[in-house]
Amino acid sequence: MPSFIDAHSHFFAVANDLSQINLNECKNFSDIQNKILEYVNNNKINENQWIIANNYDHNNLKEGRNITKEELDEILLGNPIVLKHKSGHSGVVNSRGLEILNISEDTISPDGGRIEKVDGRLTGYLEENAFIENIKKIPMESEEDILKNIIKAQEKYASYGITTVQEGFLSKELIPIYKMLVEKGILNLDVVAYIEEKSMELIKKEFKENFKKYDNKLKIGGIKIFLDGSPQSRTAWMRTPYINNKNVEQEYYGYGTMKDSEVEKVIEKAYNADLQILAHCNGDMAAEQYISCVKKLEESGKNIEKIRPVLIHGQLLDIDQLDEIKKLGIIPSFFIAHVYHWGEVHVKNFGLERAERISPAGSSSKRKILYTFHQDSPVIEPDMFETIWCAVNRITKEGKILGENEKISVIDAIKALTINPAYQYFEEKNKGSIKEGKLADLIILDKNPLKVNKSDIKDIKVLETIKNGKTIYKNTN
């Protein structure tokens, strides 16, 4: 069958995470502390070297809350430590780390972010822009280690049958990395990168051969903006309030990160540069803001559909918003595996009735809306067959069906990972289906996904991945 196309992930972050501590299996704070100590004991760690752990998720811990800087300090290490939340939108830093990042009780939280304080004292928890901007200050690994991890990351994607991947946010900090990858010819997968708007001119200067076309496997596809956070961290921006709110005196809706005027300005900038716009929108209020800003520019006489605007995640994009999405030509890209990985969390945050409408692929199919699926790796593994399984079964970790009406057919789920993302990338003439004249981007499977029981789809194995007619992965197990 045609190989898979990654509609949204963070390629460098996947590579970067390979050399970090993985907290995915931790069940409590003690597990986290022991995992960090084990890493330090097994590696030659310098006194001031940052210790970085990923796949931290307070939702899965026995304590049911975020670990604090004091509880990280109990490990009695002089090193700065940061735990990166699995959502990618928050994290916890120990006292030494806060000191190095120059964050104190007097530090003011940035717009679209939060530095948590309880009774005026820092807890170590950083959220959204407060976390994202500070994490950029942590030094990167050596060039040699980065290259090794990039090669491993490519092998990981290829093992899941993926031949086109996305760099979901190419910031100025990543310019030297991608310059090196292009110049050394390291990439064997096609990488479509989406850039931060404020560094557009600098990136255009550095990658003028890569704008809207591939050069040494890298293509600059457009501009990426963030309009809210994540539902599992309760930072997605909602039209209706979260339930189980600790502050009973004030309703909580999450929050946005940009003003309408700023969003309109960036969309117009992308349009004038003939670049695509990708907007991170998890909550339905963030989606509403994006839709209204696109609509305003459309009504000013601009044919916004020509740049194929994308709404990334769309966890809580609601049914009443779909007709406007279709009319404006916005492509929703659903993180459909949330149903399994965080289904119960969404029920807890929004109630069962609202949670059943997350990732409304079924309702989109009925309206003939073209949509794609993604895993937002490294948030979860880029496992395409798990994603297909989630879309057609909609089963949570507790084995409950969440959103019977939003189930879709296997073939529609496959399209959301092949021909549809090819269209999203303006590459439908070259990729996404098996047809004479298209690239020989193919995979060979051990079972036919259209014929196996729907409950067994997640167990299908990729035996071989072929890129441009050349085998880049073979399953040796």
Per-residue pLDDT tens digits for 280-323:
999 999 999 999 999 999 999 999 999 999 999 999 999 999 99
pLDDT digits 0-9 by tens, 392-446: 999 999 999 999 999 999 999 999 999 999 999 999 999 999 999 999 999 999 9
- pLDDT in the model for residue 248: 64
pLDDT of residue 162: 98
pLDDT digits (tens, 9 = 90+) for 159-200: 999 999 999 999 999 999 999 999 999 999 999 999 999 999
Q: Residue 247 — pLDDT band, cuts 50, 70, 90?
A: low
What is the pTM assigned to this prediction? 0.90
pLDDT band (50, 70, 90) for residue 45: confident
Among 200-209, 244-253, 310-319, 361-370, name the one with the lowest average pLDDT.
Answer: 244-253
Domains, the chain, with CATH or none: 4-13+150-474 (3.20.20.140), 20-135 (3.10.310.70)
Q: What confidence tier does 78 reach under pLDDT thresholds 50, 70, 90?
A: confident
Is pLDDT of 477 > 90?
no
Residues in the chain: 477
**Band of residue 62 on the pLDDT scale cut at 50, 70, 90:** very high
- Calculate mean pLDDT across residues 361-376: 98
Decide if 121 contacts 105 (C-beta within 8 A). yes
Residue carrying the six token digits 């609202």: 354
pLDDT value at position 48?
82
Tell me what the pLDDT averaged over the chain comes to: 95
Q: Give the number of other Cβ atoms within 10 Å of residue 209's Cβ.
A: 12
Residue 448 neighbours by CB under 8 Å, 6+ apart: none
Angle, helices 143-159/175-184, rounded to nearest 10 degrees:
70
End-to-end CA distance of the chain: 21
Higher-confidence residue: 246 or 300?
Answer: 300
